[in-house]
A and B are shown apart, each in its own frame.
Chain A
Amino acid sequence: MGKAWKFGENLNTDEIIPARYNLTIEPKELAKNVFCEIKPDYARFVKPGDVIVAGNNFGCGSSREHAPVAIKGSGAACVIAASYARIFFRNSINIGLPILESPEAAAEIMEGDDVEVDPAAGIILDRTSGKTYQARPLPPFVLKIAEAGGIVNFLKNHDLEELL
């Protein structure tokens, strides 16, 4: 359970974390500068379990994995967006950051709402409005990576062929 932090459309990876802060790969260090240009309060006040809510094409731009790592490192429970840019989507699944796709939740959840999420089931509950949302299910092979907690964990016990 946590607070919703709301962002707009086409949020790009430079806005998630500018390249000049990408020289570290430590999640906690990256988290200090996450969203620093567009929502500096986020890094100061985010609490574990808070959620990020945004519009279409979340995470567009560069391939930098520092972006989802910074979000995960900040303690956010998940991202809820109307849609995701492709590299950000792959990166998030690969590093075990839960991402939920729900255009309705993305449009209706307001900044500061009290939100509860079950990432595995894809269920989003906005306690402030009382509304429940079902996120779009992940494709089965992507779910296998997500359920393992990321591609690194998956590969420790499986071969890539087992995704198919």
Chain B
Amino acid sequence: MGTLVEEIFSQKAGRKVEAGEIVLLDVDFIMSHDNTTPLAIKAFREIGKPIFDKNKIVISFDHAYPAPNMQAAENQKKITDFMKEQGIKHFYHQGICHQVMIEEGYVTPGAVIVGGDSHSNTYGAFGAFGTGFGSTEIGVAWVTGKAWFRTPETILIRIEGKAPPGVYAKDVMLSIAGLMGMDGATYKSVEFIGSYIDALPMHERIIFPNISTEIGAKCGLITPDATTLAFLEKQTRAAPPFKSIRPDHPHYEQVIDIDVSALTPQVACHPDVDHVKPLPEIEGLPIDEVFIGTCTNGRYEDLEVAAAILKGHKVNPFTRTIITPASVIVYQKALKNGLIDIFHEAGCTIGVVGCGACIGRHGGLLAPGERAFTTMNRNFIGRMGSAESEIYLGSPAAAAATAIEGKIADPRRYQEVL
């Protein structure tokens, strides 16, 4: 009996676990990337004990990769030397860590995965417990194979209705962030259910756990169903049988009901993710850079939506438009199906797969006074470069329409739905 997170923890602990209990759990995988691994190595050396199981360790180069400067190059050499020394084989550098974790089959229902990245909540889309850790604790997990958690209380978000054309999971989740605020779910598990979620394909479901981080959640979870299992079997390297996991007579701390039937496209405005407005209210705001990509919206289907709008159009000459596929697998499919040609012909620049411009390291930094419209999950001050620049967040469709007009634009005009 319990909420989804209580059920996952109970299965893992081999006993009944309830919200509020502190548990020490075996972790299935420990993920970290080029930005967070160096400090984990430092902690590991200081602890001075051997790695518990090197097969649990996954390391991705995606944040500042390929290295844009000497410091990044030196960090990556240090990590590479460490992986060779310790015999760590699960090493990737062809995509954003969270996308790679999914594609490579590490994310399965009921798994407990800790990641040295705050958006590790993403794995909850598959009914896995995923959460972000700092580097030192990643080093601790390498050594112990375990992690402690306070079993969180759960907020249930029930989403009903069919979203109107031009309105995507990104718009729905941004509206939820606006409603709940940046600390609306701090320390909590957030479960997303309802007829809207049931009808969504996986690339859209992923948005909800991914952005649950921005409302402070420890994890964001969706109960696995036939859609989940079909995706895992067909589009990842995960091999069945998969664990069966679902809430059982759960007690929720709070229940929030949302109907998406009349929702419009939404935008998170500078400088906070919860500063959300309906797109029509800020239409026309001039934009210097459009960036489509990230662990939130850099998947094939996101690029497909953007391409459908950009096809036959040119982007505004003064709006740099950068499109960064989330992984090489996404990139190859986009290439094969002609999306990359559409982007090139529209005047876009394709970035190197990875996190790119999202953390202001390389691939599209902003100068003082500039404003970007992106498909990212975070718009904090200075995130993409100058502290005097502004970041607006929305769907890939809104980003594509904005690129064409050079100002925030309603994508529905290009989708023949208005």
Contacts and interface: CB of A to CB of B under 8 A. Distances in A.
A25 B182 CA distance: 28
Q: How many of chain A's residues touch chain B, expressed as a range?
A: 35 or more
Contacts of B24: 160-161, 163-164
Contact of B382 (A18, A62, A85, A152): A18
Given A19-B383, A66-B39, A155-B47, A60 B132 contact: no
A52 B248 CA distance: 44
B361 A38 contact: no
A18 B134 contact: no
Q: Which of B46, B115, B385 has the most CB of A within 10 A?
A: B46
A156 B43 CA distance: 11
Contacts of A83: 183, 186
A37 B72 CA distance: 22
Q: Chain B: interface residue count, which band? A: 35 or more
A86 B216 CA distance: 7
A159 B144 CA distance: 8
A19 B378 CA distance: 13
B22 A164 contact: yes
A152 B136 contact: yes
B146 interface: yes
A15 B187 CA distance: 21
Interface string B366-389: 000000000000101111010100
Nearest to B387: A37
Contacts, number: 135
B66 to A, nearest CB: 14
Given A86-B216, A94-B134, A160-B146, 11 more contacts: A14-B378, A18-B382, A19-B360, A38-B387, A57-B183, A62-B118, A62-B378, A87-B132, A141-B22, A151-B43, A152-B139
Nearest to B41: A25
A23 B64 contact: yes
Contacts of A69: 39
B38 interface: yes
A37 B382 CA distance: 8
Contact of A57 (B38, B72, B216): B216
21 contacts: A10-B272, A15-B380, A19-B359, A23-B69, A23-B71, A24-B71, A57-B186, A61-B378, A62-B117, A63-B120, A64-B35, A64-B134, A86-B218, A90-B137, A95-B136, A141-B22, A151-B137, A155-B140, A156-B47, A156-B48, A163-B148
